[in-house]
């Protein structure tokens, strides 16, 4: 889905983690029998106080952009 687009992150992220919890890719991955939150490759995750996007996993659906409280995430043309 939407691989002509990609998700971009700005430096105003406050690390709240809402994007991580609303991401459908993360939800799908977390349902795997062998899911380990310490080692899983998620579409978006928070580390060192800021969200990090894994573009290999993110499908650029845009759901996180609509849930970020500070509008730190945007979908752009790839």
CB of 36 to ligand SF4, least distance (A): 19
Number of residues that bind ligand SF4 (CB under 6 A): 26
What residues between 33 and 62 interact with ligand SF4 by CB under 6 A?
43-44, 46, 51, 58-62
Contacts of 5 (CB under 8 A, 6+ apart): 60, 62, 75, 76, 77, 78
Alpha helices in the chain (DSSP H): 18-22, 24-30
Return the SS3 of 77.
strand
Residues engaged in binding ligand SF4 (CB under 6 A): 7, 13-19, 23, 25, 43-44, 46, 51, 58-64, 68-70, 72-73
């Amino acid at each position: 889905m939407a691989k002509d687009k990609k998700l971009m992150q700005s430096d105003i992220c406050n690390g709240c983690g809402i994007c991580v919890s609303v991401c459908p890719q993360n939800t799908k991955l977390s349902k795997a029998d062998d899911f380990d939150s310490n080692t899983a490759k998620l579409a978006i995750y928070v580390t060192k106080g800021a969200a990090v996007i894994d573009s290999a996993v993110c499908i650029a659906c845009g759901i996180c952009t609509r849930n970020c409280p500070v509008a730190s995430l945007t979908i752009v043309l790839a």
